[in-house]
Amino acid sequence: MTRLIDVSRYRLKPTPAQETALLEHCGHARFVWNLAVEQHRYWRPGRKSAPGFAEQCRQLTQARAEFMWLRGGSVIVQQQALKDFAQAMAGFFGGTHRHPGFRKRGRSEGFRIVAVKADQIRRLSRNVGEVRVPKVGWVRFRWSRAVPEGVKSYRVTRDAAGRWHVAFAAIPQPVPAPGTGESVGIDRGVAVSAALSTGEMLNVPPLRERERARLRRLLRELARARRGSGRRSKVKAAIARLKARESDRRKDWIEKTSTDLARRFDVIAVEDLRISKMTRSARGTIEAPGRNVRGKAGLNRGILASGWGGLVRRLEHKAPGRVVKVNPAYPSLRCSACGIVDREARESQAVFRCRSCGYVGNADVNAAGNIRQSIAHAAGHAVFAREGPRVTGPAHREPQRDLLLVR
Ligand SMILES: [Zn+2]
């Protein structure tokens, strides 16, 4: 299923007083959620159905009348927890999700606010923003990147390390096609994250050398630290922070790159190859029959780190109907200049040298050129060429709730 919403996460910086209030919201949401889980736990096919959302809301009103501490909290937060639960159950019955389970204190803490208005999020300075949380007020967050337009809901969470985040959910807006008729082929590179048929090489920013050294040191320390020791959990948290930084940079790169490509080209061609297939098996293809199993293992990490799958997914969101998946024959052995397939042309991993026409180029760029040239063969493109670029997308739909659930 393609995700129909954009979720961008930011570090929330509550004051100590706000933190107490946020924790209370979390506690209420957890309490209500767990109550709903409890009610559904004993349900079996054939029995009288477990209470639905309406009935649960009635029960919530009763519970609020009964428990002072619950009454003091936000009814918005508490009702939303019930809605989330109802949605999770729908996902369960629909066969797409597991049965929702109990939420534990200190883990999976969070709550969600929907029907967010534009004036409930504002920017204070270059690096600081504020979001209005019911009964808590304006809470600051680190404006680490642009907040998407049209935020419909947000989720506030607290991780095991005690850090708070706010994740804004918005319907992604398709990027308009330039209308120039320009097309581009993209190849997931070996040495780079993505090579374009234009000759550009795109790279996910890796961890800096200093960060990598720190990561190695932390991993060594972790191996030495005693199980259950405070030292160990500290080291673990530090490692998690470094990994999170790496993944943030990758997401950021995916966002920027996909927008840029959608803006510059009318048609974007990528190879129709499931990333899972490539990463899971090293059995080989016609082009490289079974060699290099070890080399492939290293490559797998690179592919995953490069965020290739994420890039293609985001391209499909931002350029709906303009991403063409093609199936070129021998993309890495065919010369993109003259079309000859030459098994000896691959001089090295990086260089393609055609013995027929003399073309010399980066092997990944050559493959990207072949991918671009096979657009004409893709069935989808015939339709596309007649109708012109279609800029379609979800218009004013609410974000799909089940997709917003944090699992
Ligand atoms: Zn050639």
**Which residue in 24, 109, 364, 402 is the catalytic one?**
364
**How remote is the CA of residue 334 from the centroid of ligand 1, in Å?**
8
pLDDT at position 335: 92
**Which residue in 187, 246, 266, 402 is the catalytic one?**
187
Low-confidence ranges of the chain (pLDDT < 70): 1-4, 42-50, 189-191, 273-306, 377-407
Catalytic, 187? Answer yes
For residue 12, how many other CB atoms are within 10 A of its CB?
A: 24
Contact between residue 131 and residue 138 where contact means Cβ atoms under 8 Å apart? yes
Measure the CA–CA gap between 142 and 130, rounded to whole angstroms: 9
- Give the residue from 78, 100, 88 showing the smallest Cα distance to 32: 78
CA 311 from centre of chain: 10
**Which residue in 24, 246, 271, 316 is the catalytic one?**
271
pLDDT at position 292: 45
Q: Which two tokens stand for residue 378?
A: 């893709």
**How remote is the CA of residue 366 from the centroid of ligand 1, in Å?**
10
**How remote is the CA of residue 273 from the centroid of ligand 1, in Å?**
25
Beta strands at 267-271 and 183-187: parallel, antiparallel or unpaired: parallel
Measure the CA–CA gap between 73 and 134, rounded to whole angstroms: 10
**How remote is the CA of residue 342 from the centroid of ligand 1, in Å?**
9
pTM of the complete model: 0.60
β-bridge mates for residue 201, sequence order: 195
pLDDT at position 59: 80
The pLDDT tens digits for 57-90 are 888 888 888 888 888 888 889 888 888 888 888 8
Measure the CA–CA gap between 235 and 218, rounded to whole angstroms: 6
Q: Which two tokens stand for residue 186?
A: 């993209």
Catalytic, 84? Answer no
**How remote is the CA of residue 235 from the centroid of ligand 1, in Å?**
54
Question: Environment class of residue 239 by beta-carbon count within 10 Å: exposed (0-12), middle (13-18) or buried (19+)?
Answer: middle
**How remote is the CA of residue 364 from the centroid of ligand 1, in Å?**
15
**How remote is the CA of residue 349 from the centroid of ligand 1, in Å?**
18
Annotate 329-364 with b (16+ C-beta within 10 A) or e (fewer). eebbbbbbbeeeebeebbeeeeebbbeeeebebbbb
Catalytic, 364? Answer yes
The pLDDT tens digits for 245-303 are 887 788 888 888 999 999 999 999 998 765 444 543 443 344 444 444 444 445 445 55
* Environment of ion ligand 1 (residues, CB < 5 A): 335, 337-338, 354, 356-357, 359
